[in-house]
Amino acid sequence: MIFTDLQLQIRDAARAFAQKEIVPHAAEWDRTCTVPVHVLRAMGPLGLMGMCVAPEWGGAGADMVSYALAVEEIAAGDCGLCNTDAAALTTRAVKKGERWVIEGTKQFITAGRSADLAFIVALTDPQAGKRGMSMFVAPTKSPGYRVAREEAKLGHRAADTCQIALEGLEVPEQDMLGVPGAGYRIALAYLENGRIGVAAQAVGVARAAFEAALRYAREREAFGKPIIDHQAIGFKLAEMATTLEAARQLVLHAASLKDAGEPCLKEASMAKLLASETAERICSDAIQIHGGYGYLNDFPVEKYWRDARVLSIYEGTNEIQRLVIGRALEG
């Protein structure tokens, strides 16, 4: 795929930021389960927050291809941090008069301990089922909003995942997002964007694992030569590089369809399916190439695998992606 000058500038800016501000600290954040809020805030002046938000609301007005390129770079630095940042790349909640609206393309965010604003889906008409669900915007400092527990996770430790308790939380009617009964539709809107984002994250963490394995294979010697010169390792790296590029191109294809205003739910699901499973396989192969060292946290590849594992679960499990693709094929 040939990129525009602006897309290349966005990719390079995200890469430079990730390599300078994220990569040197990612292992420590993982060990201490630290959410580096200061790093997230530093992305704003670079245009890496609200990237796809319209300029009149403080965003960059970038396209989905640029978004996918930026997500890949941030995820290559730390996939957990990218998980927190990915929604902010495309979303901003704004108040127009007395009404809250979401500007951008990804319309549903779950709140963690570090969030200032929560989007809450609540049943406002029990008789109407899913048509009776509405969405509200609530500051997390509101009385009745409580973080009940912060979850301990296998990976993505630079992003907090919390159980939220709503205990007598009162939300004014004017803080409803959209209209009554629109919560379910809002929560499921623009699924393509979320799946493209997760697929781009997968490409990013897979690329980081591949590059680590390639460096190690060039440096590590066995039987008098670098292990990359042994056919077993050379072939494994060749396959990793090929499947990585295939996943990346599928992500970019879905993103370009989105930019063109074309339906792309099937393509976004394909990208998410292939990229997430490719990421787990590449990260596992990277551990294998490192041998016993790959199992130690002295090297980054074990973290890459832990971070990659969830990508086939959230934003719709890969079983759901296969279901979506299958239904599309049925016509």
Residues labelled as active-site residues: 315
End-to-end CA distance of the chain: 28
Contacts of 141 (CB under 8 A, 6+ apart): 116
Helix H or strand E segment including 324: helix 318-330
- In angstroms, rounded to a whole number, what is the distance separating the alpha carbons of residues 163 and 251? 31
C-beta separation of 119 from 136 below 8 A: yes
Contacts of 222 (CB under 8 A, 6+ apart): 230
- In angstroms, rounded to a whole number, what is the distance separating the alpha carbons of residues 108 and 69? 21
Instruction: Say what angle helices 191-219 and 301-308 make with each other, to 10 degrees.
Output: 160
Distances (CA, A) of 274 to 17, 104, 106, 246: 27, 26, 21, 9
* Residue with tokens 């000058």, as numbered in its chain: 5
β-bridge partners, 99:
96
Contacts of 167 (CB under 8 A, 6+ apart): 144, 146
- In angstroms, rounded to a whole number, what is the distance separating the alpha carbons of residues 250 and 1? 10
